[in-house]
Structure 1
Amino acid sequence: MRHTSGHHHPDPRAVSIGPLDLAARVDEALAVQALAFGLTDDEVAVRHHIVLRHLTMTGARALGATTDEGDRLVGFVYGMPNDRTQWWSTVVHPYLRQEGHDAWLGDAFVITELHVLPAFQNRGLGRALITGITDGADEPRSILSALDTESPARALYRSLGYRDLARRVRFPSASCPYVVMGAHLPLRRSPDTP
């Protein structure tokens, strides 16, 4: 899958999306996340171990967006079938239960991280990454968490069919509240599709 900026001559910003060996490219991926999400060096160091641990989970997989020139990683997504015993599930479960949505934790594919470098945003890469990874899911639905604010990321998730399941979710290490969102699979292909 290729994405270009619409020029007719070779574009150094042309990007291809495909399977990503995230364990081999974890430092590059975390550099993308740090720029896209505003992480400190200490937060990146903590996430390095978390990502590698996640990749040992059954069914974990990743897609990357890389430049056609230079194979530079400019975006990535990874996720896995949800496991109710994992840390993320144990934190969000009470919030989902309170809203009557705790069944969403079963038989769902979790989008763990999705990030695109700011210079490559607004080109459809986030949409292509998340639809690409969920298309390969055996589960009938997908869940994720995002900052509980009106952001381009949240607008993207809504356009794909995700809806709010629980708001004002507090993760122990985060200063801002999150929202847990869920969507039935397959995800919508265009913002106009109901």
Structure 2
Amino acid sequence: MAAVSGGGAHTPSVLVGPIDLAARVDEALAVQAVAFGLGRNEVDVRRHIVLRHLEHPCARALGATTAAGRLIGFVYGMPNERGHWWSTVVEPYLRATGSEDWLDDSFVITELHVHPEFQNQGVGRSLITTITDAVDQPRSILSAIDTESPARGLYRTLGYRDLARQVLFPSAPKPYVVMGAPLPLRRRA
């Protein structure tokens, strides 16, 4: 477990470490719903997706919890496979930018969310660096909404760069960007 110091005077310490995400999926999706603005129907759909992803033998998950055990953030991912739905959607966009090879030998960050009360305190940074430090792949890929946001800023500081922009996922209201970074991720200077 890694400890993350709180950023505010009244913010408790946060512990980052392995969790049984399948057992805590509803808590995790409650965090994602608040952080990402999801409605009940979207949460129900994502619940099935998360549980299906966690069946992958190489899926990894970490949680960020307060000392009292409250789940306030999570990350999960797995080695990328070209046959995965996500890969089939992003592949034409990556091919168009000459970045298609990023789909091979990469660890994909499937989801990373931190409750808004705990954002900008190093929790997301700790989650993503801890999970990628433990993988065998030489690089990591992820997708994020294609807008300038604190999440995109974080990813850039870690070494992620844009591989393809304006990626359209079925039923997603906004375009995404696919980003990639060599591992290990960059640390703060």
TM category, shorter: over 0.9
Judge conservation of contact 2:7–2:121 (CA < 8 Å) in 1: no
Equivalent position amino acid for 1:149 in 2 = T
Structure 1 partner of 2:5? 4
Structure 2 partner of 1:21? 20
Distance 2:12 2:127 in 1: 17
Structure 2 partner of 1:48? 47
Q: Secondary structure at the match of 2:148?
A: coil
Distance 2:43 2:172 in 1: 14
Equivalent position amino acid for 1:114 in 2 = L
Taking structure 2 as the reference length, what is the TM-score of the superposition?
A: 0.96
Q: Secondary structure at the match of 1:166?
A: strand
Q: How does 1:46-85 map to 2 (within 5 A)?
A: 46-69=45-68, 71-85=69-83
Task: Report the Cα offset of residue 14 of structure 1.
Answer: 1.7
Q: Secondary structure at the match of 1:35?
A: helix
Structure 1 partner of 2:161? 163
Structure 2 partner of 1:118? 116
Judge conservation of contact 1:163–1:183 (CA < 8 Å) in 2: yes
Equivalent position amino acid for 1:160 in 2 = L
Deviations 1:106-143 (A, max 9, x none): 00000000000000011100000000000011000000
- The one of 82, 86, 89 aligned to 1:88: 86
The alignment covers a number of residue pairs equal to 188
Distance 1:6 1:31 in 2: 22
1:127 aligns with 2:128: no
Structure 1 partner of 2:184? 186
Structure 1 partner of 2:98? 100
Q: Secondary structure at the match of 1:123?
A: coil
Equivalent position amino acid for 2:155 in 1 = Y
Structure 1 partner of 2:170? 172
After superposition, the Cα gap between the structure-2 partners of 1:189 and 1:24, relative to the gap in structure 1 and judged at 3 Å, is same
Judge conservation of contact 1:58–1:81 (CA < 8 Å) in 2: no
Q: Secondary structure at the match of 1:80?
A: strand
Task: Report the Cα offset of residue 187 of structure 1.
Answer: 0.1
Segments of 4+ in structure 1 off by > 4 A?
none
Equivalent position amino acid for 1:118 in 2 = P
Equivalent position amino acid for 1:4 in 2 = S
Equivalent position amino acid for 1:83 in 2 = E
Q: Secondary structure at the match of 1:17?
A: strand
Gaps of 5+ in 2: none
Gaps of 5+ in 1: none
